[in-house]
Structure 1
Amino acid sequence: MNRRDALKLAGLALALPAASVVQANEPFQIIEPAQKADDPSKIEVLEFFHYGCPHCRDFHPLITAWKKKLPADVAFRAVPAVWNNAQLSGLARLFYAAQITGDLAALEPAIFAAVQDDKRPLFNEQQVSEWVAGKVGDAAKFVETYKSFGVGSMVQRADQLARALKIQGVPSMVVGGRYLTSASLTGSHENTLKVADELIARVRKERG
């Protein structure tokens, strides 16, 4: 699924500068200007994904194992793609709600299966409330988190970040706010993670 342009966001105090993507004749692209990390002391690695993407589902167990081995100076963050799409926005809310309540690791395989295998819509409060019952310890708390202002702000921020980084498809990885890579550039999910490791080392060297 491609990103959607011309989205106007309300209520966000921080505006990210728009970036351009330069083809480097390498298994990655260069983002100009580089985007700042939330924590500048860390090398930030972002994974853009969404639950309706079969490639993201295939990539998920690989990147889950990979991120557990990252060194202390690297900060990993998964970012749900929204692209001004109401259904993807609902799935992004589901992601952040599960993350906040501590249910993400247990729920993610089931979310992928529900969306892709069962074709179950999980795009709004009622649909999520019915689905999550019996799957988490406190379903009422989960739904309250899902519909909270804080989660809504996180979804808006995620979409703003994807647009600032010119994310065109998923799964994609951005390293150090400057280098973008994906299987379309590397040839496979496994190679994408190898390239990400190389880019982490490159950013570390650039920082001195």
Structure 2
Amino acid sequence: MISPRRLFLSRFATLLVMGSITRPLFAAVAGQDYQIISTTPLAGKSVEVLEIFSYACPHCAHLAPFIEPWSRKLPAGVVYRRIPVTFGHDQWTVLARAYYALEAMNEVNRLQEKVFAALHEQQINLFSEDVLFDWVAAQKVNRTKFIDLYRSFAVQSKVQQGDQRAMSYGVDGVPTVIVDGKYSTSPSQAGSNAALFPVLNELIATELAAKR
């Protein structure tokens, strides 16, 4: 049976995904909707929202149509970032390197959902570097520049640093969203993809108020 609380979240999902984060319509519960992973926020005046994901993850693919438009409408003072983790998997490493190469070319926002669709809907084997390079070129991305970035030391370092940061937060599954280094939540913890956003909105509002 669906709890009244989960039913409430589902009914307000559309509003809350795109709505204001300044006046939450419910109170998120620590240990139920999110975890407290630190009592100290990140330094600085901005609130960081960190999506930890992998293109290989089908749950991340399902979340993308929700989190992409939401992330583009965050208020001033909120910084949205992504970390593509590998969890030590070679295939996931290919995709993490692809993400950072696309990021360096300012192509992530344009291609984020297309990468997910290629993998999970069109069944294109982007784990293969040759297939990946051909696919990227077909998206009108400079193939040579992409390959150079993909194979660069800078991208390799970012992959390692991203994995280390995810580990420091105790992340053992994706998608996971970290708010300002203090809170961790996910669709599975919140109850659904749509139910994630009222939780995030409340946590962000709390941290914005604390940093004023």
Q: TM-score, normalised by structure 2?
A: 0.79
Between the aligned residues of both structures, percent identity stands at 38
Which residue matches 1:142?
A: 146
Which residue matches 1:112?
A: 116
Q: Deviation per CA, 1:3-50: give whole Å up to 9, x if none.
A: xxxxxxxxxxxxxxxxxxxx933310010364736xx22111001111
Which residue identity is paired with 1:81? Answer: V
Which residue identity is paired with 1:26? Answer: Q
Once the two structures are TM-superposed, the CA of residue 124 in structure 1 deviates from its matched residue by 5.4
For residue 190 of structure 1, give the secondary structure of its aligned residue in structure 2. Answer: coil
Matches within 5 A, 1:155-166: 155-166=159-170
Evaluate the alpha carbon distance shift between residue 138 and residue 25 of structure 1 in structure 2; reply closer, same or farther with a 3 A threshold: closer
Which residue matches 2:33?
A: 27
Q: Deviation per CA, 1:113-165: give whole Å up to 9, x if none.
A: 22223443323543322322232242111111111111111111110111000
Higher RCO, Cα 8 Å, sep 6+: 2
Which residue matches 1:191?
A: 195
> Which of 53, 68, 87 pairs up with 1:64?
68
CA contact (8 A) 2:65 2:113 kept: no
Provide the rounded CA distance (Å) in 2 between the counterparts of 1:206 and 1:110: 37
Gapped regions of structure 1 (runs ≥ 5): 1-22
Provide the rounded CA distance (Å) in 2 between the counterparts of 1:204 and 1:102: 28
Matches within 5 A, 1:20-99: 24-32=30-38, 34=40, 36=42, 40-99=44-103
Which residue identity is paired with 1:183? Answer: P
Evaluate the alpha carbon distance shift between residue 103 and residue 26 of structure 1 in structure 2; reply closer, same or farther with a 3 A threshold: same
Once the two structures are TM-superposed, the CA of residue 53 in structure 1 deviates from its matched residue by 1.5
Paired residue total: 184
> Which of 154, 172, 178 pairs up with 2:176?
172
For residue 195 of structure 2, give the secondary structure of its aligned residue in structure 1. Answer: helix
Once the two structures are TM-superposed, the CA of residue 83 in structure 1 deviates from its matched residue by 0.9
CA contact (8 A) 1:125 1:143 kept: no
Which residue matches 1:3?
A: none
For residue 48 of structure 2, give the secondary structure of its aligned residue in structure 1. Answer: strand
Provide the rounded CA distance (Å) in 2 between the counterparts of 1:207 and 1:102: 30
Q: Deviation per CA, 1:182-201: give whole Å up to 9, x if none.
A: 11211111111111010011
CA contact (8 A) 1:175 1:196 kept: yes
Provide the rounded CA distance (Å) in 1 between the counterparts of 2:159 and 2:165: 10
CA contact (8 A) 1:35 1:165 kept: no
**Greater per-residue helix proportion:** 2
Matched, 1:121 2:125: yes
Taking only aligned residues, the RMSD between alpha carbons, in angstroms, comes to: 2.0
